[in-house]
Structure 1
Amino acid sequence: MNSFAVKIDKLVKTFAGSEVIKGSAMTVKANTIYGFLGANGAGKTTVFKILSGLLVPTSGKVEIFGMDITENRELILKNIGTLIEVPVFYEHLSATENLKFHLAYMNVEGFGVSEVLEMVGLTQTGDQPVSKFSLGMRQRLAIARSFIHKPKLLILDEPVNGLDPLGIQEMRVLFKNLSKNYGMTILISSHILSELEHIVDSIGVIVNGVVVEEALLEEVKTKSPKGLEEYFFKIMSGGKVCV
């Protein structure tokens, strides 16, 4: 098995002639949790969409588990789970029905629907249509849908949006469990840096379309004793984080 889940080199993405991703490089080791940090508009979601097959690179190389995404798109996408931007559901259907539809679409066995609903704390929703769900319940369902087919790579863009502190803590435990016990590589972004610090093995920081830093969490703590937040703000302010 390839030791890297994701390898990006010289990636460029343009919209209307303007470069949004600017010759960027990035590596994510397999079976780890990688925190992707950046300000709003830095390019995080664009990179996630390229990795998810929703956008095509303008140039550069993107490999997922050693396979070029432009040459092996269908095979790669079978092994990816995503939560990017606002999730869309069949509003008149229940959580169970939505997840069954997703499994049928992916054409895989995956986890059992009841098992996944328990993992995300939605076992009591019954036949209630998704249209009646709170924001937090919808987010839990989106997380469930992202991993129910047992993907090798899980891409989560601000997955704890709308969750209360208890929900955030529960998802922290879930993500660590998916990585440790099910071998999933997780690529996750969040503005709650203190929460990421609890779960990530390594991080990358993107600034104006360029990944300017990648480091193991242990390296982050060595360079910034106060933690990930201090490390991130040093980079954003142009400060030095090297020792």
Structure 2
Amino acid sequence: MADEWATVLLLGLVVLAGSSVQRLAGVGFALVAGPALVLLLGPGEGVTLSNCAAGLISAVGLADSWRQVRLARMLPLIGAAACTVPAGAWVAGRVSGPVLLIGIGLLVSAAALLVIRGLRVSALRGRRGAVAAGAASGFMNSAAGVGGPAVSLYAVNTGWSAREFVPNAQFYGVTVNLFSLAAKGVPHLAAPAWWVVAAALGLGAAVGRALARRVPERGARRVVLGLALAGGLVTLGKGLREL
């Protein structure tokens, strides 16, 4: 019983950290919290809970900024993601636990490194770039819970400012995570765990909003990516040990 409550408490702390980061930066819940959720709950439930929580915290942020969403520019991203989410769900449902851990660890680590380097690729510009980024993001979000980096790279290559990016990323987060949950279903957690997750999401939203007024954008970005890289490497190591 004590072990169960310890896991629930850790779950709440992870969701609190991820939701604070997401509310602060517009993306980052899955990068920061996803690897830890996978380690706590296993690849299947961990990724699904990451989809659920990331979608909810994106919706909270979107409530304040929905008027700034550029729907015409988001439609190619969303349409492409809708096409590849089922493939990601299919892969996640058929790959063994250790292999999925390795895949998640590799994807998170590689995505964090690419965003840190600010990769510039001409193919990630314009409508074709939006379709490519959306397709990659939809697959990665459904399979591993990390759809944000592909969209971040698209935003970097198209010259979006942070002010433009955050509301559009939140809108995208709501939609792509709804697609992922529709393909896989909701996570199966006990009632106390759901209550802790809900409280952590609410508190994280408040913390992230407060931090957004005080933390410089560049500093917040470095923290998010550093945590993501560390979590990805730990998940990769666990998968390799269990293989």
Do both proteins adopt the same fold according to a TM-score greater than 0.5, normalized to the shorter chain?
no
Larger strand proportion, structure 1 or 2?
1
TM-score in terms of structure 1 length: 0.31
